[in-house]
Every structure is written in C-alpha cells, then in structure tokens.
Chains A and B, each alone.
Chain A
Amino acid sequence: MHWVWLVPLLPLAGFVLNGALALVRPGAKRAVSVIGVGVLVAAFAAAVAVVADLAATRPAGPVVFTYWDWIPVGSLHVTAALQVDPLSAVMILVVTGVGSLIHLFSVGYMGADEGYARYFAYLNLFVFFMLVLVLGASFPVMFVGWEGVGLCSYLLIGFWFDVTANANAGKKAFIMNRIGDFGFLAAMFLLFQHVGALDFVTVFAKASTAFTPGDAAVTAITLFLFLGCTGKSAQIPLYTWLPDAMAGPTPVSALIHAATMVTAGVYLVARANLLFALAPVSSAVVAGVGALTALFAATIALKQWDIKKVLAYSTVSQLGYMFVGVGTGAYAAGVFHLATHAFFKALLFLGSGSVIHAMHHAYHRTHSPEDAQDMRNMGGLKQYLPWTWVLMWIATLAIAGIPPFAGFFSKDEILGAAFARGASQPVWYVFWFLGLAAALLTAFYMTRMMLYTFHGPNRTGERERAHLHEAPAVMTGPLAVLGLLSLAGGVLNLPPLLGGGAWLEHWLEPVTRAAAVHLPAAETAPGTEWTLIVLAVVIAGLGIVGAIRLLDPAALVPARQAPPETGLGKVLANKWYVDELYDRLVVRPLAWCSRVVLWKGIDQGLIDGAGVNGSAAVTRALGWVGSRLENGEVGFYVVCFVVGVALVLRAVLR
C-alpha cells in the first residue's frame, strides 16, 4: 500500500514525457500513444495492487502517507499526504480503469489530429490531478487536485482553440468553476476556524465535538462546500458550462465530463459525509438541488438535436441523482451510482464518438459542410456501425434503469433511500417524486436518441453513405469492455432484498460509519421496497415504449432543412433560456461595471488621473508657487525678512 504514490505519479510522468514530445517532436505519435496509454494502464495496475492490499489488511481507519511538510504556518499544519481508505480505493479504480479505456479509445479517435501529443499530455495531466483529488488526505491537497482538474478541463475543452467558440467554452467552464472554488475556499477557512485543522483524519475526529448537529457553523461550511460541488459537478445554478464543454474532443467529454471530473463534487460530499450528516439543512439542500437538477436537465435533453448535447444534459441529470443519494445519507448508493454512471456514460460518449468519427469521415470525404453531430443528419446507422449500436443500447438500458443492467440497481437504491427518508422528513417524498419523473424522461430521451441515430431511414446523404463504417478495434475494444461493465456492474452492490450482499456498502462502511449515527433511521418494509422497484421499472419501460410509439424517425429531415422549433419545444431547445438569463443578470452588469466603474472610473480617473497625474500636477503647482517667491526683487525679499523677524520676535517673547 505504500506504493500508492505511484498511482498519481505515473500519469504525471506521462504528462512530462508527452509534454516534452509535444514541444520537441509532435510527430512521434507512436511514442506518445505508448507513453500515454501505458502510464494509465500501469497506474491502474498499481491501483489494483493498492486496493488488493487494502482489502487484505482492512484497517479500521484511513491509512495516511505523509510525504513532506507543505504549509507550516502558525497553528496551520498542512502536509502533502495521500490517504488510502475504502472510498479513495473505489475512486482510483474508477478513474484509472475507465481512464485507461478512454486513453486507448483516444488513440483511434484522435489519431489524425495534429495536436496528438499535446492532447495526451493534457489528458495524462488531468488524470494526475484527479488522482491527487481523490487520494488527498486533507482539504488543501484535495483542492490542489480540484483546481488542477479545472485547469485541465479548460485546456482540453479549448483543445481546438483556433475556433473562438471552443476557447470561449473553455473559459466559461473555468470561470464558472472558479465561482464554486470560492465556496470551497470559504468552507476551508471556516473549517479551520472552528476545528483548527484541515486534514481529514483530524477534522472528522473532531467534528462531532466541535459542531452541534444543525448549528450554523457546520451548515455554513457544508453549504459552501456544496457551492463548490455545484460548480464542479454542474448542478443548478452552475451547470451551464457542461453542455458548452462538448466543444472539446469526445473522449475528453467522456473522461472529464462524464466519468471523473464532474463526479468530484459527489466524492467531496461522500468524503465529508460526517459534516453533511451533522447539518440536516445542508443535506436537504444537496438532495433538493440534485433532484431539481435531475428533472430540469432531463427536460432540456428532450429537445436537443446534437448527440453530445443530449448526453451532456443527461450527465447533469444523472449527477443530480448522485447528489440525491449523498444528500439523503445513502453515501454508498451515491458512490455506487457514480461508478455505474462512469461505466455507461463513458460508453455512451465513446459510442457517440464512434458515430461522430464515422460521420466526420464521411462528410470529410465528400467535402460536405454538414454538422456531423446533429442527429437529424444521422439515422439508420445500425447497419453501418453494428457494434456501436449494440453497445450503446446496452448503455441506454443501463441508464434508463432496466434490470439487470447496472444503472437499475444504483438508481433504484437512491430512489429507495429518498423514499425511506420521506417517512421522517416529508420533503423527501418530493425529491423522490422528482427523481421518478426524471427517470421517466431519461428513458424517453435516451430512447429518442437511439431511435434518431441508429433506426429509421438514413438522412446522411447518398454519397456519404458509402463512407460510413464501423470504428477500428482500438476504439470498439474499450466500448466492449465498458459494455460488459454496464451490463454486469450491478453486482457491485446488489441489495439484500434481491439476494445480494451489498458489497460496496459494506466496503464503504469504515468511511460512512461515523455519519450514520446522526442520520435518521431509514428502514422500509420489504413490501414497500418491492413496490418501489416495480414502479421504477414500469416507469422506465413506459419511457422507452412511449418514445418508440410517439416518435417517428422517418418524419425527420436533415438539419439544414429542419423547421425551427415552436412553443414549449422552442423553450426546451433553448435550454429554458438560462444562459440568456445569466448573461442579462450577471455577465452584462459585470462587464459594465468592469468597463465603466473599474476601468474608466477607478483605473483611469482615480488612479491615473488623481493619483499619478494628480500628484504630478500638485507638485507642479507647488513648484510654481515656490518659484513666485524668487522674483529677484530686493524689496520683496526685505518684506519677507521683516515678516520673519516679526514672527521670531513673537515666538521669543511668548
């Protein structure tokens, strides 16, 4: 286990090497591929070894490896330390495992790109920061990773930065994340003020005594932490960057904006579960925002035509589910959904990448300027991309929550926990209901996506059709592995009701044990549980069937000729005009303030005008006054002389 430092360091080495290659020899694609994928696979192997060791020894508490003294200032003692415990074990497996598959996929997807080496360098750097985030033993170390993944997200979203829109998307992501980071920082400051330390072991040991359940301090801290989560994990109100982030390469969307970075917020709440359990108001806020976001994003996904945008809003929605889970106190359920979501969402994104790759190739060959990502230009692709088709259907069934696919178990556990909590706090029934409605919509829009993309007549065009073909093995291989995980991933945490041993829940018990004391007991009768399960499955099935019945792929026309949206459809297609609202409320006043008040007013007027030029003018004026004194007239000098004598006499005679 003490080799845990290898896990983040290998990707860092990959970044250094690939970065050097990007600068010196960008054409050495084979070397880049070997290094880029190799370090990830090695890191995964190291992670497996660490987790195996952890499983064998099963220590009571987290194992902390301290490497050096980072910030010894006064009473604050932050060390550069990594922590191995059940939660971080799950995370590193997910990150390195899914990460390796995505790196492998990228070899095929980005193979023709000029910035290949730069891409892999950034991707490796991202994995390094993400591992620091989940392995960090204290809030500041985690924050380093937090910020780092934000940086890499910016670099990768704006990967093709010569297109202004891509650069803007990167900026948007970074800036919105910064708002969340302010929350994280404020929480750290308050935490230090109340507890006096920032490393997890000390904080969680002292939390029960330092805070009384429900008091203002811990509520403030957790709300600030959650602000950070809304930024990083794209919840209301800071979610608008995620759909824009689809401007980056598709594997990036898969890795960062589906499987790993956006789950950092969920990880944070799971890590700080004791604090959230001590602040029931904050937990309710977390669950409420999660539920609302789940439904809200699902409504927008109903009317998106860009295949990646559908998946982006789907991610926002599923992240909402995770927050419902951790907000309710079902931390294991939230983390379970995090893992299963990583599997099927990565599969969905990579599958869409495969589709886009094929569409691009076709349009490139015929020099057509059509949009390769618009579903209205697709259709009937199942005969051209059969593997992708099958695997994406597996992922769709998983995300819809159809048993026995992975998503069914995780989603159901979250909804069950929410319903159970409703017995002691009725507002949770509302959250449960929102989650259920979102499940219906999820099934519907995912089926819609599959129908429009793979079924019905093909709308790509006569000449392009000839060039459509399945992705190479290096791309479909990872898809297959993810497909398997989406299919079988449910075994990780089979509920006792269905005869399982709830492995993940028991595995995470050392982490969640302390919080369990403060949570209301939530047991539901088996009968109610079965009813809920059946209800969830029925709802999901309803969504799928409804989509098949109500939607007619044959009625679609290619994107260029498509009629504009009207009515409610228009509102949904325009994302409920939230971006426009933010622009009006926040961006424009801020820009105005910066330009008029800060720049013209303060910088030019006050600092330049009064400060710099003003002091020069005053000096010149004083100098002019002084120069009047030396006019060479003796008579004037004599007058000054006599005045001086009078003053001296006056002073002396006092």
Chain B
Amino acid sequence: MSAVTAVFWIFAALAVLSAVLCVSRRSPVASALWLVVAMFSLAVLFVLLDAQFIAVLQVLVYAGAVMVLFLFVIMLLNLGRGAAQDRKGVIGLTVGVVLAALLFVQLRFLRQAAPPALIRLPDGMMAQLQQQQGMVGAVATPLYQAYLVPFEITSVLLLAAVVGAVVLAKRKL
C-alpha cells in the first residue's frame, strides 16, 4: 500500500463517517459542522486526484461560504437544539433506508464500469497538464476559452440568485 492509497482510504473513511453523522444528528448545527468536516475530507481526496485548484475552491467556496450561510440561517431561525420529532417514524425510516440501499445496489454497477479505451487519455495526463500550464492555468485556460459562454451565463445566474434571495428574504416587499 502506497502512501497515496493509505491517505486516500483514511480520508475516504472520514468523509463517509462524517456524512453519516451529518445525516443522523438531531441538532442542525451539529449536522452542519459534520458536513463541513465531510467537505474538508473531500478536498483532500480532490488533491489526491490531481484537482488541487478545485480542492482549494471546495474549501473556500463550499465549506467557507455556503456552509457559513447555512449556519447563519440556522442561527437566524433559532433552530439550535432541534425538535424531537425531526426524524420520521419507523415506517418512514424503513422506507428511506430500503430505497437508499436499492439505489446503492444499482449504482454499484456504474462503479464497475470503465470508460471505453477510445476516449481514455493516458495516465498521468493531468499531472503533465498542470506542469505545462500551472495548477490554476490547467483549469483556467479551457474555462476562458472553450467554456467561456457557460462561464458568462453562470455569472448571470449568480446575479439572478442574489436578486432572488434578497427579494425572497425581505420582510415586506
């Protein structure tokens, strides 16, 4: 077992564990914090998968901004402790778990599939790209060249989201 594999499995386990805990905590604050731990672990996994820039973005944007927003709202609504009947009854639990397991069984098939040889790129291609254009450049160059239009549209989307959120959250229109 190489160092990479070991680190991978440690942080993968951490991610799964914190995900389970996130889903099962009664207190929303606790859930949010465990989700942050899960995101951090995922960032480590991203690094191992040659997506360092994305890993940083994950920490900065997701864990840093989105989760903070969640915590703000939780605090605002004073949901700290968590209600008693937050989880569904036995029937709901069984249904949920069964369905999730069913979904997992079907997803396993996807896991075993490998992309066809025709479109597969050679190993280590990502690392090579990063060496050529730098870590940020590897993502930025296609972003501003091939994917420029989606980029611009995303910015418009963000603008719309901001406007929408402000309007929706107003007490009086």
Chain B residue at smallest Cβ distance from A653: B109
- The answer to whether B103 and A639 touch across the interface, beta carbons within 8 angstroms, is no
B88, B99, B109, B110: which contacts A646 (Cβ < 8 A)?
A: B99
* Residue numbers in A under 8 Å from B109 (CB-CB): 653
Asked whether A496 is an interface residue with its Cβ less than 8 Å from the other chain, the reply is no
Chain B residues, Cβ within 8 Å of A367:
none
The contact size tier of chain B is: 10 to 19
Q: Does B2 contact A (CB under 8 A)?
A: no
Q: What separation, in Å, do the CA atoms of A643 and B99 have in the docked complex?
A: 7
A:606-654 near B, CB below 8 Å: 635, 639, 642-643, 645-646, 649-650, 653
**Complex: chain B residue closest to A652, CB-CB:** B106
The interface residues of chain B lying within 8 Å CB-to-CB of A645 are: 103
B102: Cβ under 8 A from any A Cβ? yes
Q: Distance (Å) between the CB of A224 and the closest chain B CB?
A: 71
CB distance from B113 to the nearest CB of A (A): 10
- Closest CB in chain B relative to A308 CB, distance in Å: 87
Tell me which residues from 97 to 156 in chain B have a Cβ below 8 Å from any Cβ of chain A.
99, 102-103, 106-107, 109-110
The one of A635, A642, A643, A649 in contact with B88, judged by C-beta atoms closer than 8 angstroms, is A635
* B17 contacts chain A at the CB level, 8 A cutoff: no
Assess whether A650 is in contact with B106, with CB atoms less than 8 Å apart: yes
One of B95, B106, B107, B110 near A639 (C-beta < 8 A):
B95
Chain A residues positioned under 8 Å from B107 (CB to CB): 649
Q: Is the interface of A mostly helix, strand, loop or mixed?
A: helix
B103 to chain A: which residues have CB within 8 Å? 642, 645-646, 649
Chain A 377-389 interface 0/1 with B at a Cβ cutoff of 8 Å (1 = within): 0000000000000
Contacts of B88 in A (CB 8 A): 635
Contacts of A635 in B (CB 8 A): 88, 92
Task: Give the distance in Å from the alpha carbon of A646 to the alpha carbon of B98 in the complex.
Answer: 11
Residues on B with C-beta less than 8 A from A649 are 103, 106-107
**B-facing residues in A179-211 (Cβ within 8 Å):** none
Q: A642 vs B88: C-alpha distance in the bound complex, in angstroms? A: 16
B106 to chain A: closest CB distance in Å?
A: 5
- Cα distance, A649 to B109, chains bound together (Å): 10
Measured between beta carbons, the chain A residues less than 8 angstroms from B95 are 639
Q: What distance in Å separates the Cβ of A378 from its nearest Cβ neighbour in chain B? A: 97
Residue of B nearest to A649 (CB): B106
Asked if A653 and B106 make an inter-chain contact with CB atoms under 8 angstroms apart, the answer reads yes
Most buried by B among A635, A645, A649: A649
Task: Count residues of chain A with CB under 8 A from any CB of chain B.
Answer: 9
Q: How far is the CA of A649 from the CA of B100 in the complex (A)?
A: 13
The answer for the CA separation of A639 and B107 in the assembled complex, in Å, is 18
**Please, what's the 1-or-0 string for B7-45, where 1 marks a CB less than 8 Å from any CB in chain A?**
000000000000000000000000000000000000000
Q: In angstroms, how far is the closest chain B Cβ from the Cβ of A370?
A: 91
Verify B99–A642 contact, CB threshold 8 A.
Answer: yes
* Nearest CB of chain A from residue B56's CB, rounded to whole Å: 32
Once bound together, how far apart are the Cα atoms of A653 and B105, in whole Å?
12
How many angstroms between the C-alpha atoms of A643 and B109 in the bound complex?
18
**CB-CB < 8 A to A653: which residues of B?**
106, 109-110
For B92, what are the chain A residues with a Cβ–Cβ distance below 8 Å? 635
Chain B positions within 8 Å of A646 at CB level: 99, 102-103, 106
For the complex, what is the distance from the CA of A646 to the CA of B106, rounded to whole Å? 8
Alpha-carbon distance between A645 and B103 when the two chains are bound, in angstroms: 8
Q: Which of B103, B106, B109 has the most CB of A within 10 A?
A: B106
B-chain residues with CB within 8 Å of residue A643 when the two chains form the complex: 99
Task: Give Cα A650–Cα B106 distance, bound, in whole angstroms.
Answer: 7
Which residues of chain A are near B99, meaning CB under 8 Å?
A: 639, 642-643, 646
Contacts of B102 in A (CB 8 A): 646
Bound CA span A177–B65, Å: 99
Q: How far is the CB of B159 from chain A (nearest CB, A)?
A: 28
Q: How far is the CB of A410 from chain B (nearest CB, A)?
A: 98
Given the complex, which residues of B lie within 8 Å of A639, measured CB to CB? 95-96, 99
B residues 28-68 near A (Cβ < 8 Å) are none
Q: Chain B nearest CB: distance from A482 CB in Å?
A: 99
Residue of B nearest to A642 (CB): B99
A423 to B47, CA, bound (A): 125
**Residues of the B chain whose Cβ atoms lie less than 8 Å from the Cβ of A650:** 106
How far is B92's CA from A520's CA once the two chains are assembled, in angstroms? 97
Closest-CB distance, A649 to chain B (whole angstroms): 5
| A642–B110 CA distance with the chains assembled, in angstroms | 17
For B96, the chain A residues whose CB sits under 8 A away are: 639
B110: which A residues are within 8 A, CB to CB? 653
Q: Which residue of A lies closest to B109 (CB)?
A: A653
Q: How far is the CA of A645 from the CA of B99 in the complex (A)?
A: 10
How far is B102's CA from A587's CA once the two chains are assembled, in angstroms? 69
User: How far apart sit A360 and B29, CA to CA, in the bound complex (Å)?
Assistant: 115
> CA–CA, A653 to B95, complex, Å?
23
Residue on B with the closest CB to A650?
Answer: B106
Q: Complex Cα distance A501/B107, Å?
A: 112
Cα distance, A646 to B102, chains bound together (Å): 7
Expressed in whole angstroms, the Cα–Cα distance for A243 and B158 within the complex equals 104
CB nearest to B102 among chain A residues = A646
In whole angstroms, how far apart are the Cα atoms of A653 and B102 in the complex? 14
Chain A residue nearest to B99 (CB atoms) is A642
Report the minimum CB–CB distance from B117 to chain A (whole Å). Answer: 21
CA distance A653 to B109 in the complex (A): 8
Inter-chain CA distance A639–B102, complex, in Å, is 13
Distance between Cα atoms of A317 and B106 in the complex (Å): 93
CA A650 to CA B92, docked complex, whole Å: 23
* Least Cβ–Cβ distance between A357 and chain B, in angstroms: 95
| Least Cβ–Cβ distance between B7 and chain A, in angstroms | 32
- Least CB distance, B1 to chain A, in whole angstroms: 32
Which residue on A lies nearest to B95, using beta carbons? A639
Determine how close the nearest CB of chain B comes to the CB of A36; give it in whole angstroms. Answer: 91
Taken together as a complex, chains A and B put the C-alpha atoms of A650 and B110 apart, in Å, by 12
Cα A643 to Cα B96 in complex, Å, equals 10
Give A291 to B106 CA distance when docked, in angstroms.
91
In the complex, per-residue mask of A442-479: 1 if CB is within 8 Å of any chain B CB, else 0: 00000000000000000000000000000000000000
Q: Which residues of B contact A642 (CB under 8 A)?
A: 99, 103
Q: In the complex, what's the smallest C-beta–C-beta distance from B14 to chain A, in angstroms?
A: 26
Chain A, 330-373, CB within 8 A of any chain B CB: none
CB distance from A628 to the nearest CB of B (A): 16
Question: How many whole Å from B23's CB to the nearest CB in chain A?
Answer: 14
A-B contacts, 17 listed (Cβ < 8 Å): A635-B88, A639-B95, A639-B96, A642-B99, A642-B103, A643-B99, A645-B103, A646-B99, A646-B102, A646-B103, A646-B106, A649-B103, A649-B106, A649-B107, A650-B106, A653-B106, A653-B110
Known: A642-B103, A649-B106, A649-B107. 4 other contacts (CB 8 A): A639-B96, A639-B99, A650-B106, A653-B106
Q: Which 7 A-B pairs have the closest CB atoms?
A: A649-B106, A642-B99, A646-B102, A653-B109, A646-B103, A650-B106, A653-B106
